[in-house]
């Protein structure tokens, strides 16, 4: 990093001090000073300078999100400014070739989702969250809880979202559910398509702004992990959200249902329903996940797709009186 960038670093650190003390307006001013001192808009910049610029923009976005959530008359303007800072930060990361799945990239995308959701751009928020979840699945990581919480809250009202955003979310949830499963004939893992690093439509729900607001850490390349099976909580979140979406928008020609079927959803759901693989089948049953999978597999289009794949139709858990369920003759539990 060039010697004259020291002033930008010092301004960033002053901003961090103000942020931690709750002085979000002062923090935003210091981050703005750091960005102005870097002045990299048109010149040639090193990776280190671009990373510093991306961090300062991300930190200013965090401060502006806090200001937007403060209930002031300027809330919408602050949210718009935070959204634009995030897009600029993503662009700087792209110039430095520091996109997915870096931790800063995920944090910035989540903040942009928060800003977009604050502005009512729910489709963009959903797409941004889906990008984060897919990137983590591709890196062999479990999804961030805040991203899962946010996308599932949005999916609880599928009528508010366009089919394209719903399809993005379906693909992301399938990527979570398929982690660690051995699925013969599934082909490429769900979510294997390229993950965008820059400006696109992405936005998340009202996960606490504080969770996305802390000043950004230094960039670090995550280690590729061996995929682990989805947790009980994440399975429950994913299947209940998929059931809500596909029940409401589950026509055979709809983009969400196509994403589910073409992404291997029937095979993944069948595997979870009919095998002992997973953290704890009894925990899944108590949580309500088994019932959600069963209802999902009974949707006409899903049942037809499962039959075409010659998946064993027996063993679906038929509800009994009192809300319990019984295993069919083909179930191994």
* Contact (CB, 8 A) for 315 and 332: yes
Whether 278 shows a pLDDT value over 70: the answer reads no
Computed over every residue of the chain, the mean pLDDT equals 81
Handedness of CA 199, 204, 208, 212 (dihedral sign): negative
Interatomic CA distance for residues 34 and 12, integer angstroms: 6
Residue with token string 């559910």: 177
State the pLDDT at residue 6: 85
Highest averaged pLDDT of the listed ranges 29-38, 96-105, 251-260 = 29-38
State the pLDDT at residue 330: 38
> What residues contact 44, with CB distance under 8 A and at least 6 apart?
none
Interatomic CA distance for residues 24 and 4, integer angstroms: 26
Interatomic CA distance for residues 137 and 131, integer angstroms: 10
State the pLDDT at residue 248: 87
Interatomic CA distance for residues 66 and 98, integer angstroms: 26
* Contact (CB, 8 A) for 202 and 145: no
Nearest to 78 by CA among 69, 87, 88: 69
Q: Could you tell me the pLDDT band of residue 69, with boundaries at 50, 70 and 90?
A: confident
Nearest to 193 by CA among 142, 125, 124, 262: 262
Nearest to 272 by CA among 183, 189, 187, 151: 183
State the pLDDT at residue 43: 65
Classify 325 as helix, strand or coil: strand
- CA distance to 66, 191, 242, per residue, from 296 (Å): 39, 20, 8
Partnered with residue 319 across adjacent β-strands are 325
- CA distance to 44, 64, 158, per residue, from 151 (Å): 38, 22, 11
């Amino acid at each position: 990093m060039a010697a004259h960038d020291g002033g930008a670093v010092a301004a960033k650190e002053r901003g961090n001090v103000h942020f931690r003390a709750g002085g979000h307006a002062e923090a935003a001013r210091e981050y703005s000073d750091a960005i102005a001192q870097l002045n990299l808009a048109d010149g040639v910049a090193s990776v280190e300078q671009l990373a510093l610029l991306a961090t300062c923009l991300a930190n200013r976005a965090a401060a502006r999100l806090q200001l937007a959530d403060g209930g002031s008359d300027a809330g919408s303007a602050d949210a718009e400014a935070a959204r634009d800072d995030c897009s600029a930060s993503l662009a700087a990361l792209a110039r430095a070739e520091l996109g997915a799945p870096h931790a800063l990239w995920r944090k910035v995308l989540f903040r942009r989702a928060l800003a977009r959701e604050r502005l009512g751009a729910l489709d963009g928020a959903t797409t941004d969250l889906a990008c984060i979840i897919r990137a983590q699945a591709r890196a062999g990581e479990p999804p961030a809880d805040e991203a899962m919480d946010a996308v599932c809250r949005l999916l609880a009202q599928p009528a508010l979202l366009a089919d394209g955003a719903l399809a993005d979310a379906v693909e992301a949830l399938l990527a979570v559910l398929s982690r660690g499963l051995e699925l013969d004939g599934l082909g490429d893992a769900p979510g294997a398509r390229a993950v965008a690093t820059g400006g696109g439509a992405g936005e998340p729900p009202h996960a606490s702004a504080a969770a996305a607001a802390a000043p950004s850490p230094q960039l670090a390349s995550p280690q590729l992990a061996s995929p682990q099976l989805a947790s009980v909580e994440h399975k429950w979140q994913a299947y209940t959200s998929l059931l809500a979406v596909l029940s409401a928008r589950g026509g055979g020609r709809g983009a969400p249902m196509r994403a589910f079927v073409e992404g291997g959803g029937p095979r993944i759901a069948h595997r979870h329903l009919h095998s002992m693989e997973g953290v704890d089948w009894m925990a899944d049953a108590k949580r309500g996940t088994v019932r959600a999978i069963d209802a999902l597999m009974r949707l006409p289009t899903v049942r037809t797709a499962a039959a075409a794949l010659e998946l064993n139709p027996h063993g679906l858990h038929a509800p009994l009186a009192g809300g319990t369920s019984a295993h069919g003759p083909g179930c191994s539990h």
